[in-house]
Amino acid sequence: MADPFNPPQGRGDPNSSGSQAQASHETTPLLADRSTVLASKQTSSTGLVSTLKSIARKYWFILGLGVAIILAAQFPDVGRKGGYIRAEWSIKWGAVILIFLISGLSLKTQTLAETVLRVRLHMLIQIISLAIIPFFVFGLVLLLFKIQLPINSLLLVGVVISASTPTTVSSNVVMTENACGNGASALMNAALGNVLGIFISPLLVSVFQGPLLRATPGGDKDQDGSKPIDFAQVLTQLGLTVLVPLIVGQIIQWIFPTQVARIKARCYLSEVSSVALLTMVWSVFSDTIYAGSFSSIHSTDMLIIVILNAVLYILFSVLCFVLARLPLPAGVRTPWWIERFRYSREDTVAVMYCGATKTVAMGVPLINVIYQDGNPGMIGVLSTPLLMYHIEQLILGNIEVEILKNWVIKGKIADETLVTAARDEEERDA
């Protein structure tokens, strides 16, 4: 039975429907505001996660270097020479062979054949990479020894070894293509540089080692680094671990190009190669940490190396630009002979990325082979400048991409404008 003093809503009270509508009308904006705030928070958090994922995908190798160093610090017995996994065989032979086998599979034979006859361009890049830069850095380090810069001497020797290595294997090609440069020329010089580096880089280190040891402050001399380099042994090991896998991979790629391309995409061979490189870094730092060699390196030493690497990379990039483009002040008429020797903007981008970059994939095995009979911890100290240079060249190189890309596009637009103007003038004359 209905209660006469509390009639049902909407029946006993004539104003009940109006009150309900008013309450509903007042509640709706509050719910809408709350939903908007929640949606805004969800969107911002989703955007943050997306940004972090994008950064992680782009710089995952740099993050991997950090993980490799942390693992080496926590578990040095695993990756060191003579450790649980026998890294002197499993990594310093196995990982290196895998890296250069994949490099051979990744080099497109047809692309290499198309650009192989551009001898002058290839000579310029290789002379910059394997002659001008190594000797410039060698002279600079001798000067730093002369003024007795307060830094660990092995790190400065490592800077010279870093400068003596050839161009990197893949990142220079990727950055060249992203900047609208000549990717085929970059690919050709990545392959050519790493083959030449097998013979030239050990020779450079052998030539530089004596003067560097004589210039090193007396207290910092390392007896393991004073032994003469066994050039035949170095060439033999680099030939077996670098050159042979590179040639085998190239032969397989030439015979089965379609199958190799499918396997490369399906099995993420580029990423596998990078992971193998990270295992090399892990092993090198495991040796160094186990031997306690980092105890002599201070934070100021690392700061000096970081600044020195950044300055050198920027300087080398400018040098490559000047030698490739032969720029003249604005308003000065360009002589015909400069026009003849001046490279296109696309080629200039390839020269900049192939000339200024240095390879960890070749550099770390080189240091391992040259100093394999010495103190294992010394190898990690010598490798540190190269690893730091690699990180910095990735960061600075990606910053350059947008600058160079806009420069190349601007040049194309200017060329198209000139062609259109010339065509219009011909039509008017006709």
- Which residues have CB under 8 Å from 387's CB, separation 6+? 65, 281, 360
pLDDT the model gives residue 20:
52
The whole-number average pLDDT for the span 251-257 is 91
* Total-model pTM: 0.80
How far apart (Å, rounded) are the C-alpha atoms in residues 268 and 282?
21
* Type of residue found at 26: E
Tokens of 302: 């690392």
Q: What tokens were used for 218?
A: 């007396």
- pLDDT grade for 131, boundaries at 50, 70 and 90: very high
**Which of 85-93's residues contact partners 24+ apart within 8 Å by CB, and which partners?**
87/283, 87/286, 87/287, 88/372, 91/279, 91/280, 91/282, 91/283, 92/280, 92/283, 92/365, 92/368, 93/241
Q: What local confidence, expressed as pLDDT, does residue 167 receive?
A: 94
Residue 6 pLDDT: 47
- Quote the pLDDT of residue 10: 47
Q: Is the pLDDT of residue 33 over 70?
A: no
27 or 72: which leads in pLDDT: 72
CA atoms within 13 A on the CB side of 101: 14
pLDDT confidence bin for 231, thresholds 50/70/90: confident
pLDDT of residue 227: 65
Query: Which residue intervals of 75-132 are DSSP H helices?
Result: 76-79, 87-89, 96-106, 109-115, 119-127
Q: How far apart are CA 272 and CA 390, in angstroms?
A: 18
Report how far residue 194's alpha carbon sits from residue 188's, in angstroms, rounded to the nearest whole number.
10
Confidence of residue 218 (pLDDT cuts 50, 70, 90): low
335 CB-near residues (< 8 Å, 6+ apart): none
Distance CA 248, CA 254 (A): 10
Retrieve residue 70's tokens.
């942390």
* Confidence check: pLDDT of 102 > 80: yes
Cα dist. 419→99, 316, 336 in Å?
Answer: 46, 34, 19
Contact 263, 82 (CB under 8 A): no
**Which of 5-19, 296-310, 356-370 is least confident?**
5-19
pLDDT of residue 353: 96
pLDDT at res. 59: 79
Quote the mean pLDDT of the chain: 85
CA 169 to chain centre: 9
Q: What is the mean pLDDT of residues 276-300?
A: 87
Whole-number CA gyration radius for the chain: 30
- For residue 224, give every residue at least 6 positions away whose Cβ sits within 8 Å of its Cβ, in sequence order, or none: 371, 373, 374, 375, 378
**Count of all residues that appear for the chain in the document:** 430
Cα(122)–Cα(189) distance, integer angstroms: 6
Neighbours of 146 (CB within 10 A): 9
Question: Tokens in use for 21?
Answer: 């509508």
For residue 420, the surrounding DSSP H or E stretch is: helix 376-429
**How does pLDDT run across 291-330, given as a tens digit for each residue?**
887 887 889 999 999 999 999 999 999 999 999 998 888 7
Pick the CATH number of 56-327+334-408 from 1.10.287.3610, 1.20.1530.20, 2.60.40.770, 3.20.20.70: 1.20.1530.20
Buried b (16+ CB within 10 A) or exposed e, 386-396: bbbbbbbbbeb
pLDDT digits (tens, 9 = 90+) for 165-182: 999 877 888 899 999 999
DSSP 90: I
pLDDT band, very low/low/confident/very high, at 39 (cuts 50, 70, 90)? low
Is the distance from CB of 319 to CB of 109 less than 8 angstroms? no
Pick the range with the lowest mean pLDDT from 14-28, 33-47, 53-67, 400-414. 14-28
pLDDT in tens, 47-78: 778 888 888 887 788 888 889 999 999 999 99
Determine the pLDDT at residue 164.
Answer: 96
pLDDT tens digit string along 340-353? 889 999 999 999 99
> Tokens 């294997």 belong to which residue?
169
| Residue 290 near residue 377, CB atoms below 8 Å | yes
Chain centroid, CA 184 distance in Å: 18
Count of alpha carbons within 13 Å of 237, Cβ hemisphere only? 20
Q: Are 249 and 402 a contacting pair, CB within 8 Å?
A: no
Say if residues 338 and 420 touch (Cβ distance below 8 Å).
no
pLDDT number for residue 352? 96
